[in-house]
Amino acid sequence: MHPKGQGIRNLGRELAFISLYIYDVSSISLKELLDFSWYDEIVEQKEEDILFIPLKLRNEVYKFSYSLLNGAVSNVARLDSIIKQHLVNWNFSRVRSVDKAILRLSVYTILYCYNIPVEVSISAANYLSNKYSDDNASYYINGILHRVKEEYRKNFVIE
């Protein structure tokens, strides 16, 4: 679990996840989603809020989250196709929105964000599924992400 004083990337990743969830379950426009105006409307800015982003970090968190969110939404058809290919004995239409958001974000970072180690993407997915989903979700999310890693990043080495 992430420490209470989360860094910019952890906060940005969590904000991108929540945004992807909102994208899946609401009719919010992509523009509103990407400018994070919704965040100020739903969060009271108390440290006990579900995702408290300190004011001094907000611009950097929004910037990192924007890049993840914009990339994931721009590639959502491909991401969903890859997720569907790696589901085992399960139909994509039965995947809960919270789990779709975690998978979309994580598969996006595995496929497109070579500056983020795969282990970080998978660890972040485990954190998010433990915090926001049910007890069994982390098992199948982890399995899908490991299969995606094997297919897309198995031989990738940063030099």
Domain membership flag for residue 1: no
Domain membership flag for residue 158: no
Domain membership flag for residue 2: no
In the chain (159 residues long), the average pLDDT of successive 10-residue segments reads: 64 95 91 87 64 87 96 97 92 94 98 94 95 90 95 67
Model pLDDT, residue 101:
98
Task: Report pTM.
Answer: 0.89
Model pLDDT, residue 44:
61
Rounded CA-CA distance 97/23 in Å is 9
Model pLDDT, residue 39:
83
Half-sphere exposure of residue 71: CA atoms within 13 angstroms, side-chain side = 19
Domain membership flag for residue 159: no
Q: How many domains does the chain have?
A: 1
- Which residue range(s) make up the domain with 81? 8-152
Model pLDDT, residue 3:
40
CATH code for the domain of 145: 1.10.940.10
